[in-house]
Structure 1
Amino acid sequence: MTTCCFCQCIKDVKPRPFDPNDIYLQFEVFPYEAACSSGGMFVAKSVAPDGFPPYFLRRKGWEIYTKTPKTYELGEALGADISLRARLPEFGFPVSKQESEGVVVGKWYCPFMFVKDGPLRDQMKNSMFYEMTLEQRWENIFTCENNSYGQGNGSSVSLEVEVHREMVTVGGREAVWDENCGVLMGWFGLGSGK
């Protein structure tokens, strides 16, 4: 807050990444009662005692309008299905294939604000929610040929290999964890050249 022209002026700060523990990013919204209004108007107050909401929220009497797009449809999303998660996918896939068919073992909807997918304005136009699924599949992660087969030691092969037990993928490509995102959240993005 600064003083300008003999009155107090509040200058909005630049937006920063969402942190649910930062009370300066939390606001309470209250109905705003005006003498000649019929309701449906609001005002917001910062949760922080010395904080201020951004101008569009602290302005008295702002309104909210909603519109549901014709194509808007959310199905049922019950989270992880424990019984499916415990059952392994079919293992009978041909050796020529690198992986088995995926089995969906969980489904969620994630609000757009937790997904970075291009410009924010475009994200909000496409959908307010992203559908997220958890899939299990068998995948060929290491192959080794026994070149000494038939040379007296063909019944055993010694391997020392480190493999990933689980992997996060975005659009079928391995995701990279972004450490610079904050304490309570992390972002997965596609690594360069993968």
Structure 2
Amino acid sequence: RWFGNLKTQARIGNVLTFRRYGSVIYLLFEHLTLDAWTDNMLEMSLSAPACRAEAAWDDCGSPALARAYCLTFYIACSYVFLNLVLSIVLDHFSLIYTLASDFTCINDQDFESFRVAWHRVAPREQHWIRPWQLAPLIMELHGLHVAQLAFDVNARAHRKRLWMLRFYLDELHKGRGRFHFQAVLRTLATHAVPMEYLLP
């Protein structure tokens, strides 16, 4: 009503106008996405002598109403729209995290148990263990009921598995005679993942 007869200008003209319903919706959506809303506000603030303000024909805007309308719309709608988009994005991230955790073989508790077992086996060594300490570490994990990362090293069926892990870690560290915390954890975690998850 107040901006229906605005004079044609650089932005508000034939396409962006308050004279047609579809064009008004497009203009509001443009304001909602913060696309040049300040330029539109300046053109809606048009006043004499740049326009005709007569009883028969008035194609001027209103500086006070333009600022009140644009700022109110910006504060009310834009923040609501922004929060809506953010909530949808964050909701999708939480859904992805939930789906990923459902398919995870090893959880946070397993990692914490590994840290506790490491500290028990090598209390003085913060980041390294000797090759002979690998079996006690796995036995500690077995005692903490971390089935994903541990196995019974005394069982005949698992001796070859222990030997292969030790050989792999020795090759990884180029025969330095000690294994790093992250390398042992990564090797045990990779070993715990079922083969079908590793295949393409």
Q: Greater share of helix residues, 1 or 2?
A: 2
Common topology (TM > 0.5): no
Length-normalised TM-score, structure 2: 0.20
Q: Greater share of strand residues, 1 or 2?
A: 1
Length-normalised TM-score, structure 1: 0.20
From the CA coordinates, give the structure whose radius of gyration is larger: 2
